[in-house]
């Protein structure tokens, strides 16, 4: 039975399942810290929110990709993925702090696409840095 759990198809399904659950949890946390309802805004056609949320989805997935490729246990992969998410969340607050001339959340909610694009690119770019540093 031990060989069953180490089969590549089973391992892939396990990693996939865990990452999907983590993605849902992490996106829910992002939903709590933003001043708008992500999915409601996206449903209403807000491109800026879609870009910012898409960047977060890509960023989280990219961090987990690195974590999966660098670790051989599910628990270790989850731990590094959680740590990477915390860093990405921290970057979100730093971005808000470094733009004192305007509120990032308000601009994204108002569909300011320039701010939405920068937010997306920050999430994606930093996910590469975080992923590269996962050992």
Q: What is the DSSP letter of 36?
A: S
pLDDT at 1: 60
pLDDT above 70: residue 130: yes
| Domain locations in the chain as residue ranges | 4-133
Tally: H helices and E strands in the chain: 7, 0
pLDDT per residue as tens digits for the range 46-77:
999 999 999 999 999 999 999 999 887 889 99
Q: DSSP string covering 71-92, please? A: -SSHHHHHHHHHHHHHHHHHHH
3-state secondary structure of 134: coil
Please report how many Cα atoms fall inside a 13 Å half-sphere around the Cα of residue 57, on the Cβ side.
10
What does the block give as tokens for 86?
């915390």
Q: Which helix (H) or strand (E) holds 111?
A: none
């Amino acid at each position: 039975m031990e060989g069953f759990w180490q089969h590549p198809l089973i391992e892939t399904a396990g990693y996939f399942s865990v990452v999907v659950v983590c993605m849902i949890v992490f996106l829910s946390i992002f939903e709590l810290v933003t001043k708008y309802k992500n999915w409601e805004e996206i449903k209403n056609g807000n491109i800026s929110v879609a870009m910012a949320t898409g960047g977060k989805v890509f960023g989280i997935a990219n961090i987990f990709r690195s974590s999966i490729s660098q670790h051989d246990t599910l628990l270790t992969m989850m731990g590094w993925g959680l740590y990477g998410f915390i860093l990405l969340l921290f970057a979100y607050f730093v971005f808000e702090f470094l733009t004192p001339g305007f509120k990032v959340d308000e601009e994204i909610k108002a569909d300011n696409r320039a701010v939405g694009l920068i937010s997306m690119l920050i999430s994606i770019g930093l996910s590469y840095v975080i992923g590269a540093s996962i050992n």
